[in-house]
Structure formats: structure tokens, C-alpha cells
């Protein structure tokens, strides 16, 4: 593709030393003299690049290393090894310049001032980032409407509901027009309506402003609705990097064809598919996409039986990803 890379990450590593603590009074004394360290490889040799305008899902089970990666990319953490280049900058070396050109939302905690009303937090950001008044006003007008901020613009951040706080945080992250947005669990704890509103907003920003977005989430509907490309990490390693469709095709397991026959047939077996359920005139077949296509199967069936209706069921993405987590099906598969 023609877009240049805005992010390039090569063999990124972050190791944390974790000290084992002895318990009790004697233990506390021992802690003073002997500290046994173990090393957690939170990020263990990850490489990828992201082009301008991409919207990428960065997913993985708890403790996989997602937040650690995002903290390095936003300049909050210094890695133990590897290279990162974001729009010509090394995040942890050029922190000031870097934060001026990115937006970041960490869903678990706010970046706004706890005791200030939302609008005053935004005013402070205008001052800190030296946002020109016209840009500030333009963005405020746009975000106020899209994120429905009006009812709580004058409420102190500490009094906001979780959904309101998230909207305020996302607004704050974008006031200075960053070309790059990092979202660490932007929909965590939100109800379905609030999630949908945030998804629509992320899509809008990505499409209208060509903002590059990386987001982590545990809600796979976020990924299905927003991201063409998905990266799956576990134990600090990249297990998959590619299109969501590819993931489904290559690792999705069997597809199903549910057929409503016009009458009940005694023998409904057919080459290339397995009958997994038969209830009156409704027959469910399972088939592998490598063996037969849905249309071939339907063609075969329709020459033998009279068909009233049919439906193809794709394996759902949630199960596919769970299988990958559980079975570690992949090792560094890049597409
Ligand atoms: N400051 C730290 N000190 C020691 N260990 C840490 C530190 N930060 C993270 N870790 C460890 O690094 C690993 C990766 O953590 P990280 O927060 O990146 O996971 P995550 O993928 O964001 O998980 P979650 O989905 O639960 O948010 C975990 O084992 C965690 O305990
Ligand atoms: Mg996390």
C-alpha cells in the first residue's frame, strides 16, 4: 500500500524485575537483606509497522503486554531493548515533542484534572499545548456534539459517570489535532449504548481526519466493528498480525450451512460436509472452507433436494480468538 509508515517497532522488549517478598516480621527483616528477583518479560521481542490512517486492534488476554506496549509508544516507559520510531521520533527520548503530536487515553484512569470542571480542563490543555483559539473552538464545537458533552461540560471530572469521563478523556486527547491516537481500553465498563457512541466517534475521527488509531480492548465487537487489521499478543509476543478476515478464514474452524428442506428426507448426507444436526426438515451441515465453498455445497444439495431456505453461519470471531489464546495456535504469523 502507498501510505508511509507512521509507526515502526522493531524487536521491542520490556522486562520488569519483580521482587519476591517474605511475609511477617521476620520476613520483613529478611526482605532488607535478601531480595529475590524474577524477571517478567512483559514485551518480548515485538516488531510491526503501522501506516498513516490505519485503525488497528491490539488485543490479547490479561497480562499479555498490551498496556506496556502502549506506554512505551506514548513515551511513558523506556523499553529494555528494541527500536521505536514514530513519525521520526523516539518516544521516550523526545517526550515533549512526542506528546504534542499524539493523543492517548488510558481507560483505567483519567488524564484530566480531577477537581476541575471538564471545560476548565480543556482550557488548561489549550494553554499547555498552545492550541490556536480557532482550532480549539472548532474541535470543541465538533466534539461537543459528536460526544454529547454538553450536559456535563461544567461538572468536575470526579463527579462524572464512567461513560461521561471516557468521552471527556477522548475529547481531551484530540483537542490538539494529533495525527495519532492511542486508546487503551476506551470502552471498558461501558454499557452498550455508550460503547456504540465511542465506536462511532473513533470511526469518524479515523475516516474524516485520517487519524491513525491503535486500540486495545477486551470487547471483540470493538475490533469487529472498527478494525480491519488486528494484532494478537500473548506473553509479550506477537501471535498474529493481519486482517480480521484472514484470521477468520485461516483459524476460524468449520463453517455451518443450515438448510430448511421442502420436505423431510430420510438420507441427507452429502460429500464434502458433515451432518451435525437434523430436526424435521432442518438440517445443519458443517464444512471446511478449504474442502468446499458454500456455493458448491448449495449447488450439490439443490440437485438432490428441494430447498426452501438456507443460511451460512461463519465461525464467530470470539471463539476463534479464544482458541488462539488457549492453544497458542500461531507463532509469529504475519500476513
Ligand atoms: N510496573 C510493573 N512492574 C512489574 N510488572 C509489571 C509492571 N507493569 C506491568 N507488569 C507486568 O507485565 C505484564 C504485562 O502487563 P500489561 O499491563 O502490559 O498487560 P495487558 O495486556 O495490558 O493486560 P490487561 O488486559 O489486563 O490490561 C503483566 O505480567 C504485568 O504484571
Ligand atoms: Mg492493560
Q: What is the CATH number of domain 5-249?
A: 3.40.50.300
Is the CB of 67 inside a 6 Å radius of any atom of ligand 1? yes
What local confidence, expressed as pLDDT, does residue 48 receive?
98
Is the CB of 62 inside a 6 Å radius of any atom of ligand 1? yes
Strands (E), 141-271: 180-184, 212-216, 229-234, 237-243, 255-261
- Starting from the edge strand earliest in sequence, which strands make up the sheet with 229-234, in order? 102-106, 180-184, 212-216, 55-59, 229-234, 237-243, 333-334
Is the CB of 18 inside a 6 Å radius of any atom of ligand 1? yes
Cα–Cα nearest to 60, from 77, 73, 49, 44? 44
User: Are the CB atoms for 156 and 115 separated by under 8 Å?
Assistant: yes
Is the CB of 60 inside a 6 Å radius of any atom of ligand 1? yes
Break the chain down into helix, strand, coil percent, rounded to 5: 35, 30, 30
Q: Retrieve residue 139's grid coordinates.
A: 474541535
Is the CB of 211 inside a 6 Å radius of any atom of ligand 1? no
A 10 A CB-CB count for 60 gives 24
A 10 A CB-CB count for 166 gives 26
DSSP tag of 273: B
Please tell me the residue having the least CA distance from ligand 1 atom 12: 42
Return the best residue to mutate from 12, 40, 58, 216 for the ligand 1 pocket (most ligand atoms within 8 A of CB).
Answer: 40
Q: What is the pLDDT along the chain (335 residues), one digit of tens a residue?
A: 557 899 999 999 999 998 877 777 777 777 777 777 889 999 999 999 999 999 999 999 999 999 999 999 999 999 999 999 999 999 999 999 999 999 999 988 888 999 999 999 999 999 999 999 999 999 999 999 999 999 999 999 999 999 999 999 999 999 999 999 999 999 998 999 999 999 999 999 999 999 999 999 999 889 989 999 999 999 999 989 999 888 877 777 788 999 999 999 999 999 999 999 999 999 999 998 888 999 999 999 999 999 999 999 887 777 788 877 777 665 544 44
Q: Ligand 1 atom closest to Cα of 69?
A: 18
Dihedral of the alpha carbons of 268, 269, 273, 275, in degrees to the nearest 10: 60
Residue 145, H or E segment = helix 133-146
DSSP tag of 311: E
Amino acid at each position: 500500500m502507498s501510505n508511509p509508515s507512521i509507526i515502526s517497532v522493531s524487536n521491542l522488549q520490556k522486562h520488569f524485575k519483580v521482587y519476591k517478598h517474605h511475609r511477617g516480621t521476620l520476613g520483613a527483616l529478611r526482605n532488607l537483606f535478601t531480595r529475590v528477583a524474577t524477571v517478567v518479560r512483559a514485551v518480548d521481542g515485538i516488531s510491526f509497522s503501522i501506516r498513516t490512517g490505519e485503525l488497528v486492534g491490539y488485543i490479547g488476554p490479561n497480562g499479555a503486554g498490551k498496556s506496556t506496549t502502549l506506554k512505551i509508544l506514548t513515551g511513558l516507559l523506556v523499553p529494555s531493548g528494541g527500536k521505536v520510531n514514530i513519525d521520526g521520533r523516539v518516544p521516550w527520548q523526545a517526550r515533549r515533542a512526542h506528546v504534542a503530536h499524539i493523543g492517548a487515553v488510558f481507560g483505567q484512569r483519567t488524564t484530566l484534572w480531577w477537581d476541575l470542571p471538564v471545560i476548565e480542563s480543556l482550557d488548561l490543555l489549550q494553554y499547555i499545548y498552545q492550541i490556536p483559539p480557532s482550532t480549539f473552538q472548532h474541535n470543541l464545537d465538533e466534539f461537543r456534539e459528536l460526544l454529547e458533552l454538553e450536559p456535563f461540560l461544567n461538572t468536575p471530572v470526579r463527579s462524572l459517570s464512567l461513560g461521561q469521563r471516557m468521552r471527556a478523556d477522548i475529547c481531551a486527547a484530540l483537542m490538539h489535532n494529533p495525527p495519532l491516537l492511542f486508546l487503551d481500553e476506551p470502552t471498558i465498563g461501558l454499557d452498550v449504548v455508550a460503547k456504540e457512541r465511542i465506536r462511532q466517534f473513533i470511526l469518524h475521527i479515523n475516516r474524516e481526519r485520517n487519524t491513525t488509531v491503535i486500540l486495545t480492548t477486551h470487547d471483540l465487537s470493538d475490533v469487529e466493528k472498527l478494525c480491519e487489521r488486528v494484532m494478537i499478543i500473548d506473553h509479550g509476543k506477537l501471535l498474529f498480525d493481519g486482517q480480521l478476515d484472514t484470521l477468520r478464514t485461516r483459524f476460524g474452524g468449520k463453517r455451518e450451512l443450515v438448510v430448511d428442506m421442502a420436505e423431510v428426507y430420510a438420507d441427507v448426507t452429502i460429500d464434502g460436509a458433515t451432518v451435525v444436526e437434523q430436526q424435521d426438515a432442518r438440517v445443519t451441515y458443517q464444512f471446511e472452507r478449504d474442502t468446499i465453498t458454500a456455493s458448491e455445497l448449495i449447488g450439490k444439495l439443490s440437485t438432490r433436494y428441494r430447498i426452501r431456505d438456507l443460511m451460512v453461519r461463519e465461525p464467530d470471531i470470539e471463539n476463534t480468538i479464544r482458541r488462539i489464546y488457549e492453544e497458542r495456535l500461531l507463532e509469529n504469523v504475519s500476513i
